[in-house]
Structure 1
Amino acid sequence: MYIRTLRTHDLDLVCRHREEMFRDAGTSDDVLMLMTEHFREWVRPRLLDGSYFGYVMLDDDVPVAGIGLMLIDWPPHPMHPTRDKRGYVLNVFVEPDYRNRGLARELMNLADAEFVRRGACYAVLHATEKGKPLYQGLGWNGTTEMAKTLNM
């Protein structure tokens, strides 16, 4: 098993992992189809310019896990008073046959190191219920963030 950085030709893999992650969380297929169509167009240029980056873990050249990362522009904040960006983790996915082997934990540790390398000292993510125990075990905590869907 080995790990490599995401490449531009990983577009289909990134889209599939995102879709499967949300499917595991209970999202319906009709919503997933629409989301993936729009996500593909959103992520394609970001993979090309490197603003969406991350890692894929492979077993004999077969992708079995992946993680997406971004730096997001954010004003200096009490949690990062001298920095104007945050790390953002998304699309953490491990194939079902490879779960409970520490792969997601290893990818999250790589994410931490990559964010630090890129100058971010604070990172955020949105966890599924299944993912919360992993993230909490790695020192991630809940925040005061709230959200609202706006009618369009």
Structure 2
Amino acid sequence: MDVRALEEADLELVCRHREQMFREAGRDDAVLQSMTVHFREWLRPRLRDRSYFGYVLSDAHQPVAGIGLMLIDWPPHPSHPVSDRRGYVLNVYVEPAYRRRGLARELMQLAEAEFARRGMQFAILHATDAGRDLYAGLGWSATTEMAKPIAG
């Protein structure tokens, strides 16, 4: 398996992986198609300026897994009292034919190493049911976060 950093040319790969990840989590196709249109426009400049970064795993030059990473502005917090940023993991996806081979674990280890290299002391992610056990096994724990859609 080859490892490489995400590139601008990976725009459609990241969009496809993100949409498929949410589809497998049970989200509605119509909502996902709309989300992907807007996500693509959001992602394009962030891939270009490298504020969205990450890794792709490939088998014989065919991408089979990926992970997105960001550094997000966050006030100092008891979990990171001297830092005003957090690492953020998103869009972890492994193609179905490549699952159960440790690729998601490898991506998460790459993410942690990259965050450490960039001086991050704390990172967060939002787990799907499918990923929860993997993340827990790597030392990630649930938080007290809650969410609510705001009607406008």
Shift in Å, 1:4: 0.2
CA distance in 2, matches of 1:14, 1:130: 19
Identity rate, percent? 68
Q: What pairs with 1:1-150 in structure 2 (closer than 5 Å)?
A: 1-150=1-150
Residue type of the alignment partner of 2:34: L
CA distance in 1, matches of 2:102, 2:127: 17
Shift in Å, 1:142: 0.4
Q: Please, which runs of 5 or more residues in structure 2 have no aligned partner?
A: none
Shift in Å, 1:93: 0.2
TM-score by length of 2: 0.99
CA distance in 1, matches of 2:69, 2:115: 9
For the aligned residues, what is the CA RMSD?
A: 0.4
After superposition, give the CA deviation of every residue in 1:6-32 in whole Å (9 maximum; x if it has no partner): 000000000000001001101111011
Shift in Å, 1:90: 0.2
Moved over 3 A (4+): none
Tell me the SS of whatever aligns to 1:114: helix
CA distance in 1, matches of 2:29, 2:146: 26
CA distance in 1, matches of 2:40, 2:20: 14
TM-score by length of 1: 0.99
Shift in Å, 1:66: 0.1
